[in-house]
Structure 1
Amino acid sequence: MPATRILGTAAVLALSAMLLSACAGTPEAAEPEPTGNAQTPTAAPPEPTATAEPEPAATEEPTCDTIIGASVVADFESLGWTSQASPLYIGSTEMEDGLQCMWADFDGPGGDHGQMFGWAPISEDVAAAAQDELTSQGWLREDDGAGVYITESADTAITTDDDGYGMTYHFTEGQVKVADTKQGLLVIEWPKG
């Protein structure tokens, strides 16, 4: 092999080796020249994290949208129903911090058809007085391990559930729930948590 060809091949190999070594890694960053000022290291940006939806606070105020389950609210809204809030009364007594909600299509032809739900905090003595007032008016009392149900007599109830229960209050420790039927109490999910 002629010498010029060998030198050319060697030059090509040397050039290729330099190019490969230059492409194989990134050059080291040059050290900053001291200027008399302290260099502040730059921290890497923090990794993004998923933000969880906040849980409703235990002190959140009850609303017509929160005292019943979100799926029930969605079902009502899909029917074109809205809610109207009012104070909650048991007999003649207004429950402080209580809420009664009527869900219906108030603008439609069947505006008188809907469902009612309510909730209030209640003390033991106010609960006992309310239960006495209702039973003295002919409402029916049922005790169970979870509390006391006071139900409107089926003879006077506007609507009843499959078991014949009309408007029903459920008194448990520190609270009372109400719905237009006993089965309706099952959709009340307040307080949350």
Structure 2
Amino acid sequence: MNPRTPALAFTSIALLAVLAACAPQPEIAPTTTPSPTSDTEPASTPSPEPTPSDAAEEPAADPTCETLIAPSTIEIFEEHGWTYREDEFRVGADVVEGGLQCVWGDYTVASDHVQVFGWAPLPADESAAAQQKLLSEGWARADKDDHTYITEDPQFAIAVDEAGYGMTYEFGDGWVTLADTMQSLVLIERP
């Protein structure tokens, strides 16, 4: 058994518990009782609210290591003295333009106890090629919830989650994410 597995499992479980507790609750619109108006008050006509098509769409900001995961997760890392190192996003040895990979850990000590989160835009043709390349290198495919996951062979994984998955890519429509375990992919907030 890898000596860091219990610590990694504890950290992952703690992060998931915090995220579940911080999940947004549905908002309930307040009800109001109309106030009586006098006949002497001028009637006001409400101005139309802009619709999404009327409003200028602001482009999504490029993700950063501070925006790729939830602020509550970052707080937990910082409480443990962790910082991040930002790298290029890679699928194997290939750099994916426009993406980033964040490696969180305690860089004041030599350790392989880190957590990895990454995101990149990836068109469908490049996604198919990247998946095929990983599969040809011995990675395994898992399809769940209309997404494709490509995960490393658990025999060679440094750390695995409760289901036995190590480093995993999740391929979606126009994007790819990466985490050190499949379970950790839920911590990524895609742009």
Which TM bucket (shorter chain)? 0.5 to 0.7
Per-residue CA deviation, residues 44-65 of structure 1 (Å, 9 max, x unaligned), is xxxxxxxxxxxxx642111111
Structure 2: gaps of 5 or more residues: 1-57
Secondary structure (helix, strand or coil) at the match of 1:155 reads helix
Letter in 2 for 1:157: A
Q: Distance in 2 between matches of 1:84 and 1:58?
A: 26
Consecutive aligned runs of 4 or more in structure 1 exceeding 6 Å deviation: none
Preserved contact between residue 106 and residue 112 of structure 1 (Cα < 8 Å): no
Q: Report the Cα offset of residue 113 of structure 1.
A: 1.3
Fraction of identical pairs, as percent: 46
Q: Distance in 1 between matches of 2:81 and 2:61?
A: 26
Structure 1: gaps of 5 or more residues: 1-56
Q: Distance in 2 between matches of 1:162 and 1:145?
A: 19
Letter in 2 for 1:83: Y
Question: What residue in structure 2 maps to residue 97 of structure 1?
Answer: 98
Number of equivalenced pairs: 134
Preserved contact between residue 63 and residue 99 of structure 1 (Cα < 8 Å): yes
Question: What residue in structure 2 maps to residue 147 of structure 1?
Answer: 147
TM-score with structure 2 setting the length: 0.68
Q: Report the Cα offset of residue 68 of structure 1.
A: 0.5
Question: What residue in structure 1 maps to residue 61 of structure 2?
Answer: 60
TM-score with structure 1 setting the length: 0.67
Q: Distance in 2 between matches of 1:181 and 1:145?
A: 17
Listed as ranges, the matches of 1:44-193 within 5 Å are: 58-107=59-108, 109-191=109-191
Q: Report the Cα offset of residue 111 of structure 1.
A: 3.6
Q: Pairwise CA RMSD of aligned residues? A: 1.2
Question: What residue in structure 2 maps to residue 29 of structure 1?
Answer: none
